[in-house]
Amino acid sequence: GVAAGVARRAQAVRARDPGRAGRGERVKAATMFSGIGAPETAMPEWDWLWHAEIEPFPSAVMAARHPGSINLGDVSAPDFAERAIDAGRPDVIVFGSPCQSFSVAGKRLGLDDARGNLALVALGVINKIRPHYFVFENVPGLISSAGGEDFRVLLETINEIGYYIDGDILDARFHGVPQRRRRVFLVCENADLGRKKRTSSYAATALNCLIDISLSCLAAHTKRFEADGIVLEPRGRYSP
């Protein structure tokens, strides 16, 4: 589902440069917090220039499966953006920063956790590289982290660095994967591409829509748990 959405936007990139499509040039892409390369596997027709992974095992997997992609290592390194530009400026960057800080299964420290702050570090990298598009993925718990404040900061930061946002919550079981795996996806477009500008309130509108979806799902699960005699205790920084 997400790969299809990015593919549609990649076609838009080609449409703005008809000569590029005629020359048979592939969309240039990269990933951060790359793991074992799910985006690379989903879109093998793209030219994956580089990735960023620090853990030994996934780094070894990427080296074996995507030898043409350069591992730039730690996203938080001071010279990361400069090295990324030297390795090749991509049209699309895909990343999902560590989700433990936002997951309802964790301590939910959100942006107060160094891992949660990596989302903002990655946006700093995006701001320096300025790809046409980037895709951000994380757990639905991101929306309610710190009473919605963390998600608001994320959306406002994306707008501040000059990107428009399209967002949705997708479940892997409806996209060919035999498991229930819900994730928030934000597909963000560089405002410099010249498309019709959205209002400054768009980030708030996207936030409200996603919060409504999250609260509806939470209410449904709460009723199911209560029917089984389970009481959900409030959690998080803003809990009474």
Q: Which residues are catalytic?
A: 99
Report whether 127 contacts 174 (CB < 8 A). Answer: no
Task: Report the C-alpha gap between 41 and 49 in whole angstroms.
Answer: 14
Helix or strand run (H / E) with residue 114: helix 114-129
DSSP assignment string, 121-176? HHHHHHHHH--SEEEEEE-THHHHGGGGHHHHHHHHHHHHTTEEEEEEEEEGGGTT
Q: Which two tokens stand for residue 126?
A: 């995006």
E-strand stretches of the chain: 28-32, 47-51, 70-71, 92-95, 133-138, 163-171, 182-190
Provide φ and ψ at 110, rounded to 5°.
Answer: 60, -135
